[in-house]
Structure 1
Amino acid sequence: MRIAALLVFLSIACSSIPARADDVATAQGVIRAQEQAFGHDDATAAYSYAAPTIKQLFPAADIFMSMVQNGYAPVYRHRSFEFGESKIEGSSVAQRVHIIDANGEAWEALYTLEQQADGSYKITGCSLLRAGQAV
């Protein structure tokens, strides 16, 4: 009986691993899609990946795009944009991104995403620091 219970527990635990990896891949896909929209100056597409709380702060795509251009220049224009560590907690994903900006400076971005009622992930925030800078 104990062996059967252990096998059931292990099968459930192991079957959840790919779903969690899928959550990270999905979240990274959202970040990458927004990054590409910024690269094409497509404010509407970039805005579509923002969570409702972000849309409350920036109620139109052009306002959102202006904020990114002025406050998040390394996210808006860069030489490289590579995913680092990720962490899942409940329905949230935190994803680090290593960025080299247009001037060659290194940055660390921490994106947070939240799973929505429809199952999609939306970006709830992005913290940006020069690489090596203390938090």
Structure 2
Amino acid sequence: MRKLMLMSVCIAMMALPISATSEARDDAITGVIDDQIAAFLRRDAEAAFAYASPLIQGVFGSPDRFAEMVQSGYPMVWQPVEVRYLALRTVAGSLWQRVMITDPEGRVHLLDYQMVETAMGWKINAVQLLTDDAPTT
């Protein structure tokens, strides 16, 4: 009986670091998205650009061009009223954070953020608009 209890305690303790690591990763990922959205709300293109992956930075080349793309292609991200984090999942080896954003008109949009871990922390590597006609809440 004692051996069984000791094994149970050991197994539970081994699971803690995995859970804590996973939770820290999840918090870091949502923190990056939160920080980029906060930069958009402040109209700070340079700060927002810093949260983009090196690939995205290379594609757009400058914070101003990146900000123009977000304003025209993802206006709900440029000026959200509400942001909710849904599932973080792995798809084909990549981490994707599902985000529900409510725009100023009350429309709800679902987006997937592809996240990559770099030497400088988590970065946003892609954003995919899943729907722009979800029912309002």
Alignment root-mean-square deviation, CA? 2.6
Q: Counterparts of 1:67-78 in structure 2 under 5 Å?
A: 67-78=69-80
Helix, strand or coil: the match of 2:81? Answer: strand
**Could you tell me which residue of structure 2 aligns to residue 96 of structure 1?**
98
Q: In 1, Cα distance between the equivalents of 2:133 and 2:85?
A: 14
How far has the Cα of 1:27 moved from its partner? Answer: 0.5
Residues 31-57 of structure 1: per-residue CA shift (max 9 Å, x gap): 000000000100000000000010111
- 1:124 pairs with 2:122: no
Taking only the aligned residue pairs, the percentage that are identical comes to 27
Distance 1:78 1:32 in 2: 11
User: Which protein shows a greater Rg?
Assistant: 2
**Distance apart, 1:2 and its partner CA:** 10
Please state how far the C-alpha of 1:9 moved relative to its aligned partner: 5.6
**Residue 30 of structure 2 aligns to a residue in which SS?**
helix
> Per-residue displacement from partner, 1:5-64 (whole Å, max 9, x unpaired)?
886665433321110110000000000000000001000000000000101110000000
Alignment correspondent of 2:28: 26
Query: Gaps spanning 5+ residues in structure 2: where?
Result: none
Moved more, 49-58 or 13-22: 13-22
Query: What number of residue pairs does the alignment pair up?
Result: 132
- 2: distance between equivalents of 1:53 and 1:74? 23
| Cα offset, 1:98, TM superposition | 0.9
Q: Any idea what SS the aligned residue of 1:104 has?
A: coil
Is the CA contact 2:107–2:134 (under 8 Å) kept in the aligned structure 1? Answer: no
- SS where residue 38 of structure 1 aligns? helix
How many Å separate the matches in 2 of 1:80 and 1:8? 42
Length-normalised TM-score, structure 2: 0.83
| Structure 1 residue ranges, 4+ long, deviating more than 4 angstroms after superposition | 1-10
Structure 2 distance, partners of 1:16, 1:114, is 19
SS at match of 1:125: strand
Identify the residue that residue 108 of structure 1 maps to in structure 2. 110
Gaps in structure 1 of 5+ consecutive residues: none
Q: Secondary structure at the match of 2:17?
A: helix
CA distance in 1, matches of 2:85, 2:64: 27
Identify the residue that residue 14 of structure 1 maps to in structure 2. 16
